[in-house]
Amino acid sequence: MPDEGRIQEPISETNASSDARPARRSRVMIRNAVLLLVVLAALLGTGRWAYWQWSHVSETDARISADTVAISSRVAGWIVGLPVTDGEKVTAGTLLIEIDSRDSKLKLTEYGARIAGLEAARAQIESEIDLIDKTSTSRIEAVRSRADAARVAVRAGLEQFELARTDFERTRTLIRDQIVSRRRLDQVQNELSLAQERHQKAQADLAAALADVNEAEAERGQMTVLARRMDALGHEAAEIAAQREQQALDVADRTIKSPIDGVVSETFVDAGEFVSPGQRLMLIHNPAAVWVEANIKETDIRHLAPGMSVDISLDAYPDQNFSGTVARIGEAATSEFALLPNPNPSGNFTKVTQRLPVRIALTPSEVPLRPGMMAVVSIRIPGR
């Protein structure tokens, strides 16, 4: 019996080892199959990724952008009102900032009073001109009529004087021939003297009448002086009116209103602060007019053209897909607009792929999009 036991032990071990070989073989086969499947899956994933990279232009350096309006002041002064805050929606014409306008309004009132005073002075001068016109017109007509009568009297007196002188010469000739008496000569001589006196008086009356005409016309000349003074007052009033308009603009500029419908992005001042002309006070953007600004590598820009469809994903909304179209491709690399140039005086050069800005118009969406949000864009290359 002991011998039989010793003989049977090796037989059982051999049977056990022969049973374990198929199990190990099957496990190896399973492991190899799993490894093969993993390798095939990795190759398939790598191939799909490589194909996607070959057939698409993708860029993670993209952001939501919008036209941001910088609100500045055209005048200096103290802020007395700031009715809006960051993130508040506003419409065009909404009051954003109010600057103290008391001094400006007082100056505006002063200019108005000065213009009113000049208008009153012009009205007074106009009345004086009208009065002089009426009185001088009638007076000139009267003195001209008198001057005309004086001219007639001078001509008549001259004729009488010439007639009396002729009579006197004839009588003196006759008296030498003793045809007339001495008394007749005296009478004729007396008539000559009277005719001469009447002629001289007529000349004096004519001179006086002409002097009156000149005086009356001089009074009408005063109308020209007054008219010129009125014109000067008109120019002065126009100058002050221009100053008043400028002051009115100053008053209007102290009430700063929103130029667009939008949202207040950020305010940089508080009520009570003193602001200067040109100082940035606030930023406003229109959330309905946003787009994606992507910086595409120069090696990929040849594949793009305006109008191409774009798939967009936003970090803020990872579960939603957005779409758009290429609206514009930049004409210069972003490095051309850098504030600090990159000179190369030493000759050491490291080539870096440049990027060009591409604007992508977004398809309207109900999801609120805010400037600065990060985005990833993907553009399929036609024909691939």
Mean pLDDT, residues 96-101 taken together: 94
Q: Establish if 183 belongs to a structural domain.
A: yes
Is 137 domain-assigned?
A: yes
Domain count, the chain: 1
Residue 364, classified by CB atoms within 10 Å of its CB into exposed (0-12), middle (13-18) or buried (19+), is: exposed
How far, in Å, CA of 230 to CA of 118, rounded?
9
d(CA 82, CA 84): 6
**Burial letters 267-288, b for 16+ CB under 10 A, else e:** bebeeeeebeeeeebbbbbebe
- pLDDT at position 267 is 92
pLDDT reading at 4 higher than 80: no
Burial class (CB in 10 A: 0-12, 13-18, 19+), 149: middle
Can you tell me the distance from the alpha carbon of 360 to that of 185, in angstroms, rounded to the nearest whole number? 129
In order, the DSSP letters of 275-287 are: E-TT-EEEEEEEE
- Rounded to whole angstroms, the Cα distance separating 378 from 309 reads 9
Question: With contact defined as beta carbons under 8 Å apart, do 355 and 60 qualify?
Answer: no
Q: For the chain, what's the residue count?
A: 384
Which of 253, 245, 246, 244 lies closest to 110 in space, CA to CA? 244
Q: Report the CATH number that the domain containing residue 172 is assigned in CATH.
A: 1.10.287.620
358 within some domain:
no
Provide the sign of the torsion angle of the four alpha carbons 51, 54, 60, 65, taken in this order. negative
Cα–Cα distance measured from residue 220 to residue 201, given in angstroms and rounded to the nearest whole number: 29
The answer to the question of residue 378 being in a domain is no
Give me the residue label for tokens 């490894």. 35
Q: Which residue has the tokens 């002409």?
A: 210
Answer for the pair 53, 300: CB distance below 8 angstroms, yes or no: no
DSSP 74-107: SS-EEEEE----TT-EE-TT-EEEEE--HHHHHH
**134: in domain:** yes
pLDDT tens digits, residue range 182-204? 777 777 778 878 878 887 888 88
| Partner residues linked to 179 by β-bridges | none
Half-sphere exposure of 264 (CA within 13 A, CB side): 22
Read off φ and ψ for residue 366, nearest 5 degrees: -80, -10
Side chain identity at residue 38, one-letter code: V
| Confidence label for 8 from pLDDT (cuts 50, 70 and 90) | very low
pLDDT in tens, 266-306: 999 999 999 999 999 999 998 888 999 999 888 888 888 99
CB 353 within 8 A of CB 375: no
Spatial neighbors of 201 by CB under 8 A, at least 6 apart, are 157
Residue 238 within any structural domain of the chain: yes
Are 284 and 339 spatial neighbours (Cβ–Cβ below 8 Å)?
Answer: no
Tell me the average pLDDT across 334-354. 69
> What is the distance between the alpha carbons of residues 236 and 125, in angstroms, rounded to a whole number?
15
What pLDDT was estimated at residue 206?
Answer: 80
113 pLDDT above the threshold of 90: yes
Residue 248 lies in a domain: yes
pLDDT for 132 beyond 60: yes
Residue of 136 and 277 predicted with greater confidence:
277
Q: Residue 189: which domain range?
A: 102-252
- Assigned domain for 286 exists: no
Cα 94 from Cα 84, distance rounded (Å): 9
Which pLDDT score, from 0 to 100, does residue 150 have? 78
CA distance 21 to 128: 137
- Binning pLDDT at 50, 70 and 90, where does residue 3 land? very low
